Amino acid sequence: TALLSPTCDDTAVEEAADLALRQINADRKEGYILSLYQIFSVREHPQEITGSVFYLILDVVDTECHVISKKLWKNCAAGFAHTAVYGQCKAIIYINQARNIAHLNTYQCILQPVPPRYIWTVCPDCPVDDCPTKPKYLEAAVQSLAKFNEESEQTHYFSVLNVTRASMQWVTGPAYFVEFLIQETSCSKNDT
């Protein structure tokens, strides 16, 4: 059978994009949940018996939800423009609605941060993303978590698992912003 070119706003195409993006996000181990910005292109290959294979190119942006949260992309707010990561995901997904099957055959996502020069033209005072593995950001996360550990009513201490986002802004001096994952330790607050 020939490849079809359905419109991007076709209900079956939108459902295929949603299911593909759900499976892509479920497969990702690092970063933030991707949200659909738009369906860039689609081709459909109907199968002989039932169902179709969809060849999708999806424009995506990341959200405020980390992939560990396992939330659906539709339940996550878009990230701030100055910290956004955007890109395209190419996906091939087989869908058979009669048998309730959705199988993501393959996908490839190419993501990149919004360029700083664009951010500065829109928001000259916004923080600029930086590499989260730099020691100064881990230090900021550890200091922040120490305050949390001191003030919280949790029974155990928490430690920094890793820094997931980092940015810096010059105010009267450098200001560091970090997002990080924490994990509960076995150390009780009652122990000295």
Tens digits of per-residue pLDDT, 8-50? 888 999 999 999 999 999 999 988 999 999 999 999 999 877 8
Q: What is the distance between the alpha carbons of residues 4 and 46, in angstroms, rounded to a whole number?
A: 8
Give the pLDDT confidence score for residue 192 in this predicted structure: 64
Mean per-residue pLDDT, 99-120? 86
pLDDT of residue 117: 77
Tens-digit pLDDT profile for residues 72-93 = 999 999 876 656 788 999 999 9
* Dihedral Cα 11, 14, 15, 16, nearest 10 deg: 120
Q: Kindly state the percentage of the chain with pLDDT values over 90.
A: 54
**pLDDT for res 114:** 77
User: What's the average model confidence in pLDDT over 125-146?
Assistant: 89
pLDDT value at 7 more than 70:
yes
pLDDT for 1:
63
Contact in structure between 36 and 74 (CB atoms under 8 Å): no
| Whole-number pLDDT of residue 83 | 65
The alpha carbon dihedral of 81, 168, 144, 185 has a sign of: positive
Average pLDDT for 122-135: 82
pLDDT of residue 22: 96
Is there a contact between 105 and 27 (Cβ–Cβ < 8 Å)?
no
Instruction: State residue 167's pLDDT score.
Output: 87
Q: Which two tokens stand for residue 118?
A: 């664009």
Whether pLDDT at 98 is above 80? no
Distance CA 86, CA 59 (A): 8
Residues in the chain: 192
Alpha-helix residue ranges (DSSP H) falling in 103-191: 116-122, 135-151
Phi, psi of 14 (to 5 degrees): -60, -40
pLDDT above 90: residue 127: no
Segment 134-151 shows an average pLDDT of: 93
* Residue 158 pLDDT: 94
Q: Hey, what are 54's tokens?
A: 């969809």
